[in-house]
Amino acid sequence: MSKIKTIGVLTSGGDAPGMNAAIRAVTRSGIYNGFAIKGIYRGYDGLINDEVKTFTTEDVSGIINRGGTILRTARSMEFMTKEGMEKAYETCKKEKIDALVVIGGNGSLTGARNFANEFNFPVVGLPGTIDNDLYGTDATIGYDTTMNTIMECVDRIRDTANSHERIFFVEVMGRDAGFLAQNCAIASGAEAAIVPEETTDVDQLACFMQRGIRKSKKSCIVIVSESPKCGAMYYAERVKKEFPGFDVRVSILGHLQRGGSPSAYDRILASCLGAAAIEALMQGQRNVMMGYRNGDAVYVPFDECIRTDKPFDKRLITVLDELSI
């Protein structure tokens, strides 16, 4: 622990509302506890190319309310190679960075784990992803804000759906996880959600059409998790062919979901986890993600949070089914 004097912080992968709050917390908590803090721009690419700046408290002033990330972000293919990691390590030595805090999702934390193992380097991760798909934490930074953004969009879409008696398939992000789709369907009063976790042989669309569309309910909203094969467009085309009597529209929210000022919850979560990351390094922790469970910050080994699928509460499917009659 006595060897750690300078801590580098970077954001990697997809941006998420609250990343700036996390950067701010790492910077100010680190300085408060006697460390020098260096911001690394453009994720692992910036670490490879030595895009590094010493941060003061002023550098993170006025950013807690801003979406995106002031450090920028990138998905680095070069960092996946041994040569790329060696360049990044050389940057750490040149800049006298003794430990890293990496803010990102599954891919970013996989890179953090590999780098930590390859060079026996202290790394602590923060769960920064709108998908909420990392094992070991109740929520990820950006998830709450994104849910609120989706809910607001669906509320507006419903006005049009009701006016024209249409079925709207609204596609949301989530990668391979349905947490956004399922919870946003409940929050927005949608009639159904189609999620990857419902992997039974039952045709989700057929079940929905049979129970959810009645003569008295010709307009409805279906939230669909993004998928290259079975996204919102796929289900809309099926309805047009199999149920030609319905007027169908598709709305793909796309990157609209990522932007915007973070919610109070995401600001608090990011702030608490950012400060906890500094505390973790002070306690000699390494190769861990800071999770948030039952109101407490917890240490989750990288291998555990990366390799273990986050459990999906299928009771939420029942809740939506009962409330959408």
Q: Can you give the CATH number for the domain in which 158 is found?
A: 3.40.50.460
pLDDT surpasses 80 at 208: no
| Residue 1 pLDDT | 45
**How does DSSP assign 56-105, residue by residue?**
-GGGGTT-TT--S-TT-----SGGGSHHHHHHHHHHHHHTT--EEEEEE-
Are residues 138 and 269 part of one domain? yes
Kindly state the DSSP code that residue 215 receives in the 8-state scheme.
Answer: T
Q: How far apart (Å, rounded) are the C-alpha atoms in residues 77 and 84?
A: 9
Number of domains in the chain: 2
Residue 324 lies in a domain: no
Give residue 18's Cα distance to chain centre: 10
Residue 217 lies in a domain: yes
| Active site (annotated) includes residue 303 | no
Are residues 202 and 168 part of one domain? yes
Both tokens assigned to 205: 């669309």
| Residue 215 pLDDT | 46
Q: Tokens 């467009």 identify what position?
A: 233
The active-site residue out of 15, 98, 131, 144 is 131
Both tokens assigned to 279: 């505390």
Are residues 121 and 14 part of one domain? yes
Are residues 138 and 87 part of one domain? yes
The pairing of strands 166-172 and 220-225 is parallel
Are residues 282 and 172 part of one domain? no
Are residues 128 and 165 part of one domain? no
Q: Which neighbouring-strand residues pair with 251?
A: 170
Give the angle subtended at the CA of 293 by the CAs of 292 and 295, to the nearest 5°: 85
Instruction: Kindly state the average pLDDT of the residues 292-320.
Output: 94
Residue 323 lies in a domain: no
Are residues 118 and 13 part of one domain? yes
Are residues 229 and 188 part of one domain? yes
pLDDT above 90 covers a percentage of the chain that reads: 79
Question: Closest Cα partner for 132 from 197, 67, 49?
Answer: 197
Which residue range(s) make up the domain with 86? 6-142+262-307
Sign of the dihedral defined by the CA atoms of residues 45, 47, 50, 56, in that order: positive
Question: Closest Cα partner for 217 from 191, 243, 241?
Answer: 191
Among the ranges given (73-82, 86-95, 240-249), the one the predictor scored with the smallest mean pLDDT: 240-249
Q: Which neighbouring-strand residues pair with 125?
A: 102, 289
Are residues 82 and 120 part of one domain? yes
pLDDT surpasses 80 at 216: no
User: By the 8 A CB rule, do 27 and 119 touch?
Assistant: no
Domain at 39, CATH number: 3.40.50.450
pLDDT in tens, 81-120: 999 999 999 999 999 999 999 999 999 999 999 999 999 9
pTM over 0.85, yes/no: yes
Are residues 138 and 10 part of one domain? yes
Write the single-letter amino acid at 304: E
Are residues 72 and 21 part of one domain? yes
pLDDT in tens, 159-171: 998 888 888 999 9
Query: Residue 202: pLDDT band by 50, 70, 90 thresholds?
Result: low
Are residues 92 and 103 part of one domain? yes
Query: Residue 210: pLDDT band by 50, 70, 90 thresholds?
Result: low
pLDDT in tens, 18-43: 999 999 999 999 999 999 999 999 99
| Residue 269 pLDDT | 98
